[in-house]
Amino acid sequence: MRLLIMGPPGAGKGTQAKAISANYEIPAISTGDMFRANVAQGTPLGLEAKRIMDEGGYVGDDITNGIVADRLAEADAQQGFLLDGYPRTTAQVAALDEMLGEHSLDGVIALQADTDEVVRRLRLRAEQEGRSDDTEDAIRVRQQVYADQTQPLLDVYRERGLLIEVDGLGEIDAVSTRIFEALTSLADNGPERVH
């Protein structure tokens, strides 16, 4: 399966991506993880990405598109993948369409989550993991950037018949079950809203 998982920062995409990856035996490809690895290694890309992420922004399309294209070309992604954190803009949707060509996405999972709950989750994660990119101000900026730039992508994927909206709140296993049921339903009947 070729999948994309979307939702506001802190909605549980990373956690659910691991479950989806294991269940369908496909690599979970997280642009955030790729950028954080570069930050940890102190690469030029990592230093620039850290500056942008610390301000609550997103790394530019050119850099992001190139990193994703290289990753999708790797052997383990040839039979399927799950994208997490990409695309974030309509320009990135067009770039992804070009990368995939005739092998388009099979489904787009959109996790729904209350903003106050997302802020609480991210503040807790920042304390547990010591993440400098999760200050409250940066969290609020990312939530607004998501609403302004990424939310419109949901309409694009809805029009293509690929969107599955899933309630992202609750126990991790319950959310995973909702996702797996929704993907089965997509394969059988087409997209629907799942609660």
Active-site residue list: 13, 88, 125, 131, 142
Which residue, 144, 150, 192, 137, is CA-closest to 13?
150
Burial 78-89 (b: 16+ CB within 10 A, else e): eebbbbbbbbbb
For residues 178 and 167, the answer to whether their CB atoms sit within 8 Å is yes
Count of all residues that appear for the chain in the document: 195
Rounded Cα distance between 99 and 96, Å, is 5
| Range list of β-strands (E), the chain | 2-6, 28-30, 81-84, 107-112, 163-167, 193-194
What backbone torsions phi and psi does residue 97 show, to the nearest 5 degrees?
Answer: -55, -45
